[in-house]
Each structure stands twice: as structure tokens, then as C-alpha cells.
Amino acid sequence: MTYKKIINIVHNSVRFSVDTAKYLKGKLVDLGYEVPDEFDENAELIISIGGDGSFLRALHKYHFPDIPIIGINTGHLGFFTEVNPDEIDYFLQQYTSENYFIEEISPIEATICTRSNCIEVMSINEIVIKGDRSRTLHLDMSVNNNLIQRFSGDGILVATSTGSTAYNYSVGGSLVDPRLDVLQVTPLAPINTNAYRSFTSSVILPSDTTITVNPEYRFENSIVVVTDGEEHRHAAITEITLQLSKMKIKMLKLKDFDFWGKVIKKFL
């Protein structure tokens, strides 16, 4: 793809984000950039203004574009959003001086099959398979066609390395350096009794792993699939297959970015 001197700004409707976008647009125009009112696929950069949710929604809304993206944090945690509003001038100086690098991350993709058809969904952080209306799920989970557990509980979460710091971390999963291309399966309230035996901690699997989940027949209408917070309900789900996508999301990072420094700052 050939990029022009165009930068897309996307933001939520919060007043602080709107004001920040207006300020940023003025700065970019002064630097000779075009900032279109509508999303331009020929842009050289996407700047998302908001929180982590806004960042993820932008990627989903524009179908995971092949354009580097960076976030300005006007939200709360701001793990994806690298730049604070008071650092805009510093960011622009670093960007125009090319003091940055591109970190490529792999989303996770799932094929959800029902008795009538199959659909594909994709996620940056995680895909969660859980019970609808707080029902207990009974799932057979296989790794590369080998059955490894008959899970019972609230559900399972399958996270990317990037998503290890999100929902995965809040339910007891492991933090994973994003430079490692792995999948992590974390159980949600697993049942461990004489009747049911489930993993009680997360399992980390290599990047070429295919995970297959089959619900017990009588529970196939009790499943909700959640991708980065977006719920998908389908009648009579028979199988869900998950794997890392071959697609790469381009995350623009300033050269002084340090993942573990950010973990300490945000979580400890």
C-alpha cells in the first residue's frame, strides 16, 4: 500500500477527546499533513483518541487496516494508548523525526459453526466463550485435535500476548511479553469435583496451535462468544475453532517505549 501525507484521527464523543482531536488536527495541519473528515485508507497513520476501548473499537470498525496506529489516552487505564494529551507536542516531534518503531501483533481469529453455517470473528485482546444468563458451561477442549479437558464452569478465555494485560489478567491469567507470539487459555470459575475435572490455571500454547471447543449437546444454546467486549449470540453452536491470525496489526511505538516499565506503572 502506498501512503500519502495523510493522518486519520479517530476519537470518542467525550468532550476531552473532541477538544484533544481539534488541537491535534491543528498541529498536524501546521506540519503539512492532511487530516480528512472521513477515514482514508491511504493514510500513513491512525491516531486514536480515547481509552483502550476506543482504540479497540477503531480497529474493529475499520476492519483491522494495514496502517500503523497509536493512541492518545483520554480514558482511564490507557494500556494501548501510549501518548498522554500533554505529550502531543513531544510525540509529534518524535514522529516527524522518525524516532519510533512498528511493533506487529497477531490478532486471534475464531470460526464459529452452528448447525446451519459458520462465521468468522477476530479479536485483538481475547475471545471469551461463556455461558449465557450465568449458566454453567460444559465444553470439550482440544489442542491440535487432541482432547485435553472436559471443562465445566463459567467459560474459557483465549487471549493473545497483547491481551494478556486485559481481561485475562483480571481473572488470574499470566502477563506475557507481547514480543512472544502465543495463545493463552484461562478458565473462568472452573469446577473441580469428582464429577468434573478442569484446569484451574492458565495454559500457554505456541503460535501454531489450533484450539477446538465443542459444547455438550444439551448446552449448545447456552453459549455467548465475546470478542474484545462485543457479544455474539448464535443458536445451536456445535464447534468453535480458534487460532492466531496471519494478519498483523501495526502498532506504532516511540523508541523509548518499555513494556515492563508500562506494566509496573499501570498495575503496581
In the structure grid, which three cell numbers stand for residue 118, read together?
A: 459458520
Identify the residue whose cell numbers are 480497529: 59
- The reply to whether 52 belongs to the active site is yes
Burial group, residue 242, by CB count within 10 angstroms (0-12, 13-18, 19+):
buried
Q: Are 262 and 80 in contact (CB under 8 A)?
A: no
Q: Which residues contact 205 (CB under 8 A, 6 or more apart)?
A: 143, 182, 183, 184, 185, 211
Q: Can you spell out the DSSP letters for 23-46?
A: HHHHHHHHTT-B--SS--TT-SEE
Q: How far is CA 79 from CA 142, 235, 261, in A?
A: 32, 35, 11
C-alpha torsion 190→167→108→55, nearest 10: 160
**Are 113 and 239 contacting, i.e. CB atoms less than 8 angstroms apart?**
yes
- Give rounded-to-5 percent helix, strand, coil for the chain: 25, 40, 35
Sequence-distant (≥ 6) Cβ neighbours of residue 145 within 8 angstroms: 210, 212
Of 19, 30, 52, 208, which is the active-site residue? 52
Catalytic residues: 52
